[in-house]
Amino acid sequence: MSKTTKLLIAGYHGFGNCGDEAILQAMVKNIRALSPDLDITALSNKPEFTKTEYKVASVQRFNLFAVLGAILKSDVVLSGGGTLLQDGTSTRSLLYYLSIIKTAKLFGKKVMVYANGIGPVNGARNRKLVKSVLKSVDVITLREKLSEADLRSIGVDRPDITVTADPAFTLESVSDERAREILKNEGVPTDKRMVGVSVRAWSKAKYGDDFVTKLAEVCDSLVKKGSTVVLLPMEYPRDLEISQKLIDNMTEKAYMIKNRCTPSEILGLVGCFDLMISMRLHTLIFAAVKNVPMLGVIYDPKVEYYLQELDMPEAGDVRTKRLNSGEITAKANDVLANIEEYKAKLKVRADLMSDKARENDRILLELINR
Residue 367 lies in a domain: no
**Domain match, 100 and 195 both:** no
**pLDDT value at residue 1:** 42
At residue 344, what are phi and psi to the nearest 5 degrees? -65, -45
Distance CA 307, CA 310 (A): 5
Q: Could you list the residue range(s) of the whole structural domain that residue 96 is in?
A: 5-163
> Cβ of 346: how many Cβ atoms within 10 Å?
20
The residues near 82 (Cβ < 8 Å, ≥ 6 apart) are: 11, 12, 19, 20, 23, 115, 116, 117
Separation of alpha carbons 38 and 175, rounded Å: 28
For residue 111, which of 65, 79, 83 has the smallest C-alpha distance? 79
HSE value, Cβ hemisphere, 13 Å, CA-based, for 58: 24
CB–CB of 100/10 below 8 Å?
Answer: yes
* Closest alpha carbon to 111 in 82, 87, 135: 135
**What pLDDT does residue 106 have?**
98
Q: Which residue has the higher pLDDT, 34 or 69?
A: 69
CATH code of the domain in which 186 resides = 3.40.50.2000
Assign 27 a pLDDT band (cuts: 50, 70, 90): very high
- pLDDT of 37 reads 80
pLDDT category at 84 given cuts 50, 70, 90 is very high
Judgement on whether residues 269 and 307 belong to the same structural domain of the protein: yes
| Per-residue confidence (pLDDT) for residue 273, from 0 to 100 | 98
Mean pLDDT computed over every residue of the chain: 96
* Within a domain: 369: no
Q: Across residues 137-153, what is the average pLDDT?
A: 95
Is 182 found in the same domain as 122?
no
Q: Are residues 241 and 144 in the same domain?
A: no
Give alpha helix (H) positions in 169-280. 176-185, 210-224, 238-248, 263-270
Q: Give residue-wise pLDDT tens across range 247-306.
A: 999 999 999 999 999 999 999 999 999 999 999 999 999 999 999 999 999 999 999 999
**Other beta carbons less than 10 A from residue 15's beta carbon:** 14
What pTM does this model have? 0.95
Q: Are 37 and 1 in contact (CB under 8 A)?
A: yes
Looking at the structure, do residues 20 and 152 belong to the same domain, yes or no? yes
3-state secondary structure labels for all residues of 251-309: CCCCEECCCCCCHHHHHHHHCCCCEEEECCHHHHHHHHHCCCCEEEEECCHHHHHHHHH
Per residue in 196-237, pLDDT tens?
A: 999 999 999 999 999 999 999 999 999 999 999 999 999 999
